[in-house]
Amino acid sequence: MKKEDCFELGIITKAHSFKGEVVLFLDTDVPENYYELDHIFIEINKQLIPYFIEASKVQKAKNIRLKLDGITTEQQALMLAKKKVYLPIEMLPTLNDDQFYFHEIIGFSVSNQNNEKVATIIEVIDNNSGNRLLSVLVNKTEALLPFNDNHILKVDKPNKNIQLDIPEGLLELYK
């Protein structure tokens, strides 16, 4: 499985027991969509390695305890701690026309309040603090723009454009 064909589901936060169980943090708004998984891909040495799930139990809304096939000791489980977990993109739920996944908007153009194209999206930076940022190219220079519901004016998926309310003077800092 190639990483570009997958989305990041979350991260294994820690080993859970001496029997080789791990805790998976689900980095999603709807964690219950992923409570009944039968497999995951774990990134190890920049490769996605498949693991089948023998058993799972919800600990908290976004944390599930997993027993993975082939992981039988605490030491093996510790080796998976802090590793990112992925699933194939096909497993993402379908969204409404005005909704999007972050991976979908890479390469979209960004328009300002006057609907003038001003940048191209290269990355969405989401540190789970609520202060999401867009990394964009402005005149061949990387810039950071605030990216939350208050700044999104319009999402045009067919034309690959997002119109933002960009704070006055912000783009001039990058010229």
The predicted-structure confidence for 96-150, as pLDDT tens digits, reads as follows 877 888 888 999 999 999 999 999 999 998 876 668 899 999 988 999 999 988 8
User: Final residue of a domain: which of 23, 56, 90?
Assistant: 90
Q: Is 95 within a domain?
A: no
- Contact (Cβ atoms closer than 8 angstroms) between residue 54 and residue 68: yes
- Contact (Cβ atoms closer than 8 angstroms) between residue 94 and residue 107: no
**pLDDT > 70? residue 13:** yes
Q: Is 97 within a domain?
A: no
Please tell me whether residues 85 and 62 are part of one structural domain: yes
The predicted pLDDT at position 71 comes to 97
> What's the CATH number where 70 sits?
2.40.30.60
Residue 40, Cβ density class (10 Å: 0-12 exposed, 13-18 middle, ≥19 buried): buried
- Contact (Cβ atoms closer than 8 angstroms) between residue 136 and residue 151: no
The predicted pLDDT at position 64 comes to 97
Mean pLDDT of 11-34: 93
Q: Is 96 within a domain?
A: no
The residue among 121, 131, 91 whose CA lies nearest residue 5 is 91
**pLDDT > 90? residue 44:** yes
